[in-house]
Amino acid sequence: MDELVKINYENQRPTVLGRDLHEALEVKTAYKDWFPRMCEYGFEEGSDFSSFLSESTGGRPSIDHQLTIDMAKELCMIQRTPKGKECRQYFLEIERRWNSPEAIMARALQFANQQLTQVRNQNKVLEGTVAVQNQQIAEMKPKVSYYDVVLNCKDLISTSAIAKDYGKSAIWMNRYLNKKGIQFKQGGIWLLYQKYAEKGYTSTKTHSYLGSNGEQHTKVHTYWTQKGRLFIYELMKADGILPQIEMEGV
């Protein structure tokens, strides 16, 4: 079947542009005058058509309309021309194909795949949230047994600051701790494995920031306690890696 008028399938039902139909029907009257006159037959915006400004290669944007196939068929009949009859038969065939069992099944499968993808994405977000919450809960446990120690060592320190003590970057430090089996990355956040998460080595903080679209977002960052800093020191010392301040005397 030849394409007499371009059909838009992006919405829940097929539509056609008013100006495309106007051209296909070979109407002599200008579109800006023709379309309002056609609307006098009882077509309603919101149910039969929607208005929008179309892009223009030059000059001012022009008003165009997305029409339902039902409205397009009626407009074809109103013209009472051979071209109108031809276009109406074209739209009837479009409807027949759209409502065929094969097309309905294809749309149902597409919808199911979209829902499945959405659920999978939601699960990934939930997994990241649960992992962060588990670490935060684990970080709270040692506060009871190490209460006095935590009170005396309130200052938290970033991975970047610790790495700087050794003349390294935060990227290097995170990779080192990952290779040593201390931490793993999930959802863009470095988290401790469970056996280390309960030792009071880290503390997570949530920071708010404005995105490029102006919306408020949050991001979780992991900081090390002084106890965690000492743990890293002993770990790296065992590998022969000393902080720069100790290297000066070597």
% the chain with pLDDT above 70: 87
Residues 156, 52, single domain; the answer is: no
Co-location of 171 and 68 in the same domain? no
Q: How does pLDDT run across 96-126, given as a tens digit for each residue? A: 888 878 877 877 777 778 788 888 888 787 7
- Three-class HEC string of the chain: CCCCCCEECCCCCCEEEHHHHHHHCCCCCCHHHHHHHHHCCCCCECCCEEEEEECCCCCCCEEEEEEEHHHHHHHHHHHCCHHHHHHHHHHHHHHHHHCCHHHHHHHHHHHHHHHHHHHHHHHHHHHHHHHHHHHHHHHHCHHHHCHHHHHHCCCCECHHHHHHHCCCCHHHHHHHHHHCCCEEEECCEEEECHHHHCCCCEEEEEEEEECCCCCEEEEEEEEECHHHHHHHHHHHHHCCCCCHHHHCCC
Same domain, 81 and 138: no
Is 106 a domain residue?
Answer: no
Regarding whether 145 and 48 lie in a shared domain, the answer is no
Give how many domains the chain has, as a whole number: 2
pLDDT at position 196 is 92
Q: Tell me if 20 is assigned to some domain.
A: yes
Is residue 153 located within the same domain as residue 86? no
Is the domain of 92 the same as that of 134?
A: no
Q: Is residue 48 part of a domain?
A: yes
Q: 99, 118, 142 — which closes off a domain?
A: 99
How much is the pLDDT for 2? 73
**Is 90 exceeded by the pLDDT of residue 94?**
no
Would you state the pLDDT for residue 59? 67
Asked if 240 and 130 sit in the same domain, the reply is yes
Same domain as 240, residue 130: yes
| pLDDT for residue 34 | 94
Residues spanned by the domain of 65 = 7-99
| pLDDT at position 148 | 45
* pLDDT of the residue at 128: 79
pTM of the model: 0.42
Per-residue confidence at 184, pLDDT binned at 50, 70, 90?
A: very high
Residue 162, domain member (yes or no)? yes
Residues 132 and 242 placed together within one structural domain of the fold: yes
Query: Same domain for 138 and 186?
Result: yes
pLDDT of residue 176: 96
Average pLDDT for the chain: 83
Lowest-confidence segment of 80-84, 136-140, 168-172, 222-226 by average pLDDT: 136-140
In-domain check, residue 25 = yes
